[in-house]
Amino acid sequence: MTRTIVIDPVTRIEGHAKISVFLDDQGNAEAARFHVVEYRGFEKFCEGRPFTEMAGITARICGICPVSHLLAAAKTGDKILAVQIPPAAENLRRLINLAQIIQSHALSFFHLSSPDFLLGWDSDPARRNLFGLIAADPETARAGIRLRQFGQQLIEWLGGRKIHAAWAVPGGVRSLLSQEGMVWIRDRLPAELATVRATLDRFKRLLDREFREETAVFGDFPSLFMGLVADNGDWEHYGGHLRFVDSQGRIIADRLREDDYASFLGEAVEPWSYLKFPYYKPWGYPEGMYRVGPLARLNVCDRIGTAGAEAERQELRDRAGGTVTSSFLYHYARLVEILASLEKIAEMVEDPNLQTGFLRSQAGVNCLEAIGVSEAPRGTLFHHYRVDSHGKIERVNLIIATGQNNLAMNRTVTQIAQHYIRHGEVQESFLNRVEAGIRCFDPCLSCSTHTAGQMPLKIEIFDSRGELYQCLCRDL
């Protein structure tokens, strides 16, 4: 008999999703699928627009990571113009991307995931959210809000607004960082550094005391990892080149150019999801599963390049015994990247070129097809445009970080289901653990599928005959 369990509050993921779990004859989980059930349409309705508008248009794909699309679109526009942007413009773009990483990672860790860590997986669903965290641990909640505010305010100092700033443009940026903004950053940095260091210490204590099972169960499996690295192998978020490593840390491919992505990235489709399934083409589908995002970036780089964050990266790798393969440790990696971003900002604000210099290179259409890449908080982001001689968009392809993690998210959901569903017994706490497994990747389904709306999660469990056994859902 089908049962429906309605759980309140609304799930803490960004986008519509459904999970199907398939049971064997003994009632144990055999497989699971993570479905994204909206249509993706941004590429189509960008057709016919001038390429110069793409930064402003694609930034509106998402209110959480608009800077990521802004920069990827601007970098693609640079290539259509065939210009090298001024050094000051590149440094300012790097600065706003660091601010984006800080605010997005703070949102993911403190607002979406920390209620599980600090209130408990099995706590009352009505309290297991940011408001429950505020009531139970107001100082931690305030610290997370202040950290995200720092990133958002820095974005506003640069782009003029916190969300959807039309500031990076093909050829450069529109404006400098003011002296007032520079002073504000310097004044705020010590408190934000103290916050992330204290949070790292607290999370490591939780890992040692309480989260050994989650580390082993929430998506711990071998895969490839992909991300940008600098020419010297340092952690990178804006430039550099692409690198793949395997779960033993071996470099599988290096110095890959985004212009050649079609030679090493394939995109499969499945009839049960609108979200594509990118894979490493030389290894085939689905064996070419790879992960992107903060964990991947820390795995593919040789070092971070700042002392504090590099020490934390090394400790993370020591805990994992080398390359980090547990998706649960994406949360750890986010904190390390927040620290790295703050440390790099502290270095950059001493650069006088942030307040002086030429900001934009001018040119006409010199290239009819271009591909730009940047590291969004959730992972590597590709924008691919084809234009006519007047610069009008003829074709767009966006390869989003969440999509690139799609195979790994499905593998994670399966691993969690197989661990917790035994003999047909399903409890509310299972639903939360599945959600928590998805939240390891901090998926942004609006970026992946480009739709608006609320975000319910639905889990359907099928018996060995393919009949619906149980339905668990979070309603609007």
Pairwise CA distance, residues 421 & 424, whole Å: 6
Residue 398 in marked binding region: yes
Pairwise CA distance, residues 384 & 371, whole Å: 4
Identity of residue 334: R
Pairwise CA distance, residues 102 & 251, whole Å: 28
Distances (CA, A) of 407 to 24, 55, 56, 91: 22, 29, 30, 34
For the sheet with 290-291, list strands across it: 251-256, 241-245, 224-229, 290-291
Residue 444 in marked binding region: yes
How many residues are listed for the chain in this entry? 476
Pairwise CA distance, residues 137 & 118, whole Å: 8
Distances (CA, A) of 170 to 44, 175, 240: 21, 13, 19
Cα separation of the two ends of the chain: 24
Residue 367 in marked binding region: no
Phi, psi of 146 (to 5 degrees): -65, -40
Residue 210 in marked binding region: no
- Specify the DSSP class assigned to residue 84: P
Pairing of strands 4-6, 468-473: parallel
Pairwise CA distance, residues 370 & 363, whole Å: 15
Residue 43 in marked binding region: yes
Check if the beta carbon of residue 92 is closer than 8 Å to that of residue 154.
Answer: no
Show Cβ contacts of residue 132 under 8 Å, excluding neighbours closer than 6 positions.
Answer: 115, 119, 123, 124, 126
Question: For residue 411, what are its two tokens?
Answer: 């593998």
Known binding site for Mg(2+): residues?
A: 43, 62, 398, 450
Known binding site for Fe cation: residues?
A: 65, 447
Known binding site: residues?
A: 43, 62, 65, 398, 444, 447, 450
Known binding site for Ni(2+): residues?
A: 65, 444
